[in-house]
Structure 1
């Protein structure tokens, strides 16, 4: 169904002038990978401080600015995502996005500033942050890929490296889907099931305490945006 962001065929209106969903997807999934490496490699300076919605929006803008006029801007329409076997995940309502992220930011900052966290504690905290950030889903498209970069930056502050290649796309997407409000539209919705995404973060995390991330310093880790989410 068309809305402010899509045409009559449900294809996102884009700066490339593409009207075919598959062609747009091919273009849109390739370029942001290089852009993400620029961010994590320290080759660009993000105009953002801390780990709140502002940083996530700047990341989104850098990844998708050549595709969408609304890159980096909070969505103004409701959002949901179809999962496998007819399921659906619902995200935060537009008027709750900023407020919900303001409530989450103390949690991200608390993680960044924490001392004497065990590796297991770090993975648990990262999973909980991801669950809420993913539930909010502030943009019309590109939330998953932007959030992956955001989570890598945040994790590195505590010396944790996230390797998304250690989990299959199917497992990642399934765990992400049930981490928020999910279910079947005609059978009722369910509350979050956090355990699957907790297991994922434990699996993809590696303790790299000798290399902690500082936003202005380079990092050459390139395993980001690997065919997951939106």
Structure 2
């Protein structure tokens, strides 16, 4: 198992394929690059460059999305993190799924994806299910970097599975972030109810 330090350069910047040692430069480059990749994937109707059509039916697609977004920047893109991870927001520490329990998390999320695929194309039911799924995926937090971007692309694919598109206003993006920080599935469901179109 890796240590946290194995992902970092001696100065604390993430190790990367571009040999960038300045964390701010790396962050900006990563942001710009992944924004371009997200737009390109949407234009391609969520078909990856190798021809694979994303459907949202398998949890493994999250690895494909993460690799697509970040594989030119990090050698671990598309691979689950190998270290335990937590975050602190507003003085509250949130512990994400420990690596040792990743198998359980995958099984649980896959079960939810299977149930989701069987739902009628009902906006309210889809929004509620997406709220629960995203909250579970947020707690899974499987990647060292790019979890939020990977999840948002995955939910766009999930929405299309039932004939919907997702369009966020700036205010709705802020509401999405609040629901993520709160780990509140009902609140997240309300966000999806507001952003689903179709």
TM class, shorter-length: 0.7 to 0.9
For residue 160 of structure 1, the aligned residue among 164, 168, 176 is 164
SS of alignment partner, residue 176 of structure 2: helix
What CA deviation, in whole Å up to 9, does each residue of 1:50-81 have, x standing for no partner?
53331000000010001100000011101122
What CA deviation, in whole Å up to 9, does each residue of 1:121-170 have, x standing for no partner?
11001111111011101101100001100000011111121113353544
TM-score (ref. length: structure 1): 0.75
Q: Give the whole-Å Cα distance in 2 for the aligned partners of 1:171 and 1:199.
A: 9
Q: Quote the offset at 1:103 in angstroms.
A: 1.8
Q: Quote the offset at 1:48 in angstroms.
A: 6.4
SS of alignment partner, residue 19 of structure 2: coil
Q: Give the whole-Å Cα distance in 2 for the aligned partners of 1:96 and 1:49.
A: 25
Contact 2:56 2:161 in 1 (8 A): no
Q: Quote the offset at 1:17 in angstroms.
A: 1.1
TM-score (ref. length: structure 2): 0.87
Q: Give the whole-Å Cα distance in 2 for the aligned partners of 1:142 and 1:32.
A: 9
Does residue 109 of the first structure (1) align with residue 114 of the second (2)? yes
Match of 2:88 in 1: 82
- Shift of the 2–94 alpha-carbon distance from structure 1 to 2, 3 Å rule, reads closer
Match of 2:29 in 1: 27
Matching of residues 34-183 of structure 1 within 5 Å: 34-42=36-44, 44=49, 45-46=51-52, 51-83=57-89, 85-115=90-120, 117-179=121-183
Query: RMSD over aligned Cα, in angstroms?
Result: 2.2
For residue 199 of structure 1, the aligned residue among 171, 184, 190 is 190
Q: Give the whole-Å Cα distance in 1 for the aligned partners of 2:127 and 2:56.
A: 19
User: Looking at both structures, which has the greater relative contact order when contacts are Cα pairs under 8 Å and sequence separation is at least 6?
Assistant: 1
Q: Quote the offset at 1:16 in angstroms.
A: 1.2
SS of alignment partner, residue 3 of structure 1: helix
Q: Quote the offset at 1:110 in angstroms.
A: 2.2
Q: Give the whole-Å Cα distance in 2 for the aligned partners of 1:61 and 1:34.
A: 14
- Shift of the 31–200 alpha-carbon distance from structure 1 to 2, 3 Å rule, reads same
- Shift of the 47–74 alpha-carbon distance from structure 1 to 2, 3 Å rule, reads farther
Unaligned stretches of 5+ residues in structure 2: none
